[in-house]
Structure 1
Amino acid sequence: MGITSYTDKIIGELSRSLRAVPEDAVEQLAEGILASRKIFVAGAGRSGLMMKALAMRLMQAGLDAHVVGETITPGIAKEDMLIIGSGSGETSSLLSMAGKAGGIGATVVLATISPASSIGKLADIVIPIPASPKERTGEGEVTVQPMGSLFEQSILLLFDALILRLMDHRKLDSSSMFGNHANLE
């Protein structure tokens, strides 16, 4: 099979996965972000990279966004939000973060393949992503892609669509966001 055939399969998988995400849950997330004082994001591995991309776009939209674990990340408080991206919803470090944030009273959000997971049970908002888990336990979409690629790509695209929704709410366009783009490159 050639690259174009693989690309077509990947795009088809992404389309099926993202069409199945409940729009009301994503709208609830958008409203929560706009009501939060600070937004924190966390994830492990490649999912963590997708969460960093979300934090960058939130910052460029003029929101106070932070990546958990960075040396300059402030403490979380009751009026804040923690958004976790975890396919399994069981990553121990992320589970600990969710417990701490929830204990403080912050809103906890989970984007996951596994809504009934340990983190899902702690979350105030769960965004179910029907994508194949790395372990292929029968949950989620079947995919030609390796490991968690479908989940990781799905959250990247979903969060880019979320940013567009936030831009609508805040009356922003790309040029107005450009002022927050890194300029020391």
Structure 2
Amino acid sequence: MQRAEELRIVLNDAAASSSRNSSQGSGGGGWSSSDEEEADPMDQDEEGSGSGKNERFNAHRKAHYDEFRKVKELRSSGSFYEEEEEEDDGAKGSKSETTTTSRHTKGGNKELDAATTSKTNLLNTTMANEKAQEMANLSSQICNQISSVFTKPTSPYPPPLDLLVTELAAISRNRNNSRIFLYGVGREGLMLKAFAMRLFHLGLSTHLVFDMTTPPISSSDLLIASAGPGGFSTVDAICSVAKSNGAKVILITAEPETGSCVEHATDVCYVPAQTMASDNGGDVAAEMGERPLLPMGSVYEGALFVLFEMVVYKLGDVLGESSESVRARHTNLE
């Protein structure tokens, strides 16, 4: 590449000198690049010397002639073009190397992105597994705490499952004349509403107290009311009205000995669970001064839900109800 550059400089200098000499010389005595194929310029130098031209001018012409001869030899041998080709090849090689490097860089970036994505997915999976395990542990503790309610003895009161199934089966045998009413407050009331829906699905005439379509209660009817802590003013009043009209009253409670509602009950359904009346003790976390897993009346309310599901299952067997018949009674106005 350096040699080619030197040759270009020589050519440029020769062309410039030839142009100057042509303007300074007389007539056709000047030198130009087009004279390469003409007579030997040295012969012209000899003729020129006879006409009085100075030796310095002849020396310049001889030097230019030597330069052109050198260029002519290089062109004929092809070395000048070979160096230019080598320069082009070098540029192409450099470009190829740059492209290859760029491809390697892109490939490396893709591998890095893939590795990062893999690590992120692994981290997300690990976190998801940890969260799932945490939920499994909490749900297990909650379910164990609720299920422990049904391991406690209820005597002298009958087992709550047997009591409810027996009384509801008796109502179903006289379903044309007997109806079931249910009432509770707060979260207990929500559990009783869910229970009422399932009793209706089993084909029983069921009503929630204070609904707009609730009929009057009579002596052939049954009221099921809940008062976990033993007494609520509204529950007291409802049970009192039902009893005064001759209806049977079943009171579900966790405090059968101290509650005010018991005096209006025909039968007591004892569910020995923690309520707001006893949420200061009985829980291991509370005894250790920690926040309880199920506060206030949550254990009792959860126990009601489980108890009612057991009643629906057992009562369905007694009544001979199938899954299809139960589903057929579900509303289509949803």
Task: Report the Cα distance in structure 2 between the residues aligned to 1:67 and 1:21, rounded to whole angstroms.
Answer: 30
Identity of aligned residues (%): 32
Is contact 1:113–1:151 with CA below 8 Å preserved after alignment? yes
The equivalent of 2:148 in structure 1 is 16
Q: Label 1:157 to 1:49 Cα distance change in 2 as closer, same or farther (>3 A).
A: same
Q: Does 1:121 align with 2:256?
A: no
Task: Report the Cα distance in structure 2 between the residues aligned to 1:20 and 1:175, rounded to whole angstroms.
Answer: 35
What are the residue-to-residue correspondences of 1:10-49 with 2, within 5 Å?
A: 10-20=142-152, 22=154, 24-36=159-171, 37-49=178-190
User: What amino acid does structure 2 have at the position aligned with 1:5?
Assistant: N
The equivalent of 2:218 in structure 1 is 77
Superposed displacement of residue 171, structure 1 = 0.6
Task: Report the Cα distance in structure 1 between the residues aligned to 2:279 and 2:329, rounded to whole angstroms.
Answer: 42
User: What amino acid does structure 2 have at the position aligned with 1:49?
Assistant: L
Superposed displacement of residue 158, structure 1 = 0.2
The equivalent of 2:314 in structure 1 is 165
**Structure 1, gaps ≥5 residues long:** none
- State the Cα RMSD in Å: 1.9
Superposed displacement of residue 15, structure 1 = 1.1
Superposed displacement of residue 25, structure 1 = 4.1
The equivalent of 2:294 in structure 1 is 145
Instruction: Tell me which protein shows more strand as a share of its residues.
Output: 1
Superposed displacement of residue 138, structure 1 = 6.0
Task: Report the Cα distance in structure 1 between the residues aligned to 2:276 and 2:195, rounded to whole angstroms.
Answer: 22
SS of equivalent residue, structure 2 residue 321: coil
User: What amino acid does structure 2 have at the position aligned with 1:92?
Assistant: S
The equivalent of 1:94 in structure 2 is 235
Task: Report the Cα distance in structure 2 between the residues aligned to 1:148 and 1:137, rounded to whole angstroms.
Answer: 7
Task: Report the Cα distance in structure 2 between the residues aligned to 1:6 and 1:121, rounded to whole angstroms.
Answer: 39
TM-score (norm 2): 0.52
Task: Report the Cα distance in structure 2 between the residues aligned to 1:183 and 1:175, rounded to whole angstroms.
Answer: 15
Larger Rg: 2
Is contact 1:21–1:128 with CA below 8 Å preserved after alignment? no
Superposed displacement of residue 135, structure 1 = 4.0
The equivalent of 2:135 in structure 1 is 3
**Structure 2, gaps ≥5 residues long:** 1-132, 172-177, 284-291
Q: Deviations over 1:112-169 (max 9, x none)?
A: 1111211123211211111111243667x53620221111110111011011111111
Task: Report the Cα distance in structure 2 between the residues aligned to 1:21 and 1:77, rounded to whole angstroms.
Answer: 34
SS of equivalent residue, structure 2 residue 163: helix
Superposed displacement of residue 104, structure 1 = 1.1
SS of equivalent residue, structure 2 residue 223: strand
Q: Which runs of 4+ in 1 moved over 4 A?
A: none
Task: Report the Cα distance in structure 1 between the residues aligned to 2:265 and 2:153, rounded to whole angstroms.
Answer: 17
User: What amino acid does structure 2 have at the position aligned with 1:32?
Assistant: E
User: What amino acid does structure 1 have at the position aligned with 2:170?
Assistant: A
Task: Report the Cα distance in structure 2 between the residues aligned to 1:12 and 1:25, rounded to whole angstroms.
Answer: 19
Equivalent position to 2:303, from 139, 154, 170: 154
SS of equivalent residue, structure 2 residue 243: helix
The equivalent of 1:104 in structure 2 is 245
User: How many residues get paired?
Assistant: 184
